[in-house]
Structure 1
Amino acid sequence: MIATKALPQDQFVQVGGFRARYWKVGQGAPLLLLHGIAHSVRAWEQNLEGLSARHTVYALDIIGHGLTDKPTSSYHISDLAKFIRDFMAAVDLPKVHLIGHSMGGAIAMHFAVMYPSQVDKLVLVAPAGIGSVVGLSFRLASLPLLGEYLTRPDWKRLQTVSRSLVFDQAIIRDEFVDWQYEYNALPGAQAAHLAIIRTHLNIFGFKKWVTDMVNSELDRFKTPTLAIWGENDNVIPLDSVRSRISAMKNITLHTLRYCGHVVQLEYPEEFNRLVLNFVNG
Structure 2
Amino acid sequence: MTRTQEPRDGSDLRYPPDVATLRGHDLSFVDTGEGPAILFIHGLLGSHENWTHLVDRLDTDHRVVIPDLFGHGASAKPVGDYSLGAHAAILRDLIDHLGIDRVTLVGHSLGGGIAMQFCYLFPERVEALVLVSTGGLGRTVSPLLRSATLPGAELVLPVIASSWVRDRVETVGRAVRGLGWRPSADASAAWKGFTSLSDAESRRAFLATTRGVIDPGGQTVNALGRLTTGEHIRTLVIWGTRDRMIPVGHAERAHEIFPGAKVVLFEGAGHFPHLEQPDRFASVLEAFVHE
**Pairwise TM-score range, normalised by the shorter structure:** 0.7 to 0.9
Q: How does 1:1-281 map to 2 (within 5 A)?
A: 5-146=12-153, 148-150=155-157, 152-154=160-162, 155=166, 169-171=183-185, 180=193, 183-207=196-220, 210-211=221-222, 214-221=223-230, 222-239=232-249, 241-247=250-256, 248-281=258-291
1:173: how far off?
8.9
Which blocks of at least 5 consecutive residues in structure 1 are unaligned?
Answer: 161-167
User: Secondary structure in 1 aligned to 2:253?
Assistant: helix
Q: How far does the alpha carbon of each residue in 1:230-259 deviate from its partner, in whole angstroms, 9 at most, with x for none?
A: 0000111012x1442245423111101010
Q: How far does the alpha carbon of each residue in 1:37-66 deviate from its partner, in whole angstroms, 9 at most, with x for none?
A: 111111112212222233111100011111
Amino acid at match of 1:153: A
Higher relative contact order (CA 8 A, sep 6+): 1
1:146–1:173 distance in 2 versus 1, CA, 3 Å: closer
Q: How far does the alpha carbon of each residue in 1:111-134 deviate from its partner, in whole angstroms, 9 at most, with x for none?
A: 012101111011110110110000
Distance 1:115 1:172 in 2: 32
Q: Size of the alignment, in residue pairs?
A: 266
- Report percent identity of matched pairs: 27
Q: Which runs of 4+ in 1 moved over 6 A?
A: 156-160
- Given that 1:67 and 1:183 are in contact with CA atoms closer than 8 Å, whether structure 2 keeps it comes out as no
1:178: how far off?
8.3
Greater shift in the superposed pair: 253-262 or 81-90: 81-90
RMSD (CA atoms):
2.6
Larger radius of gyration, structure 1 or 2? Answer: 2
Which blocks of at least 5 consecutive residues in structure 2 are unaligned?
Answer: 1-9, 173-181
Amino acid at match of 1:230: G
Q: How far does the alpha carbon of each residue in 1:157-194 deviate from its partner, in whole angstroms, 9 at most, with x for none?
A: 9979xxxxxxx8344797x6886466432441110110
User: Secondary structure in 2 aligned to 1:98?
Assistant: strand
User: Secondary structure in 2 aligned to 1:20?
Assistant: strand
1:93–1:158 distance in 2 versus 1, CA, 3 Å: farther
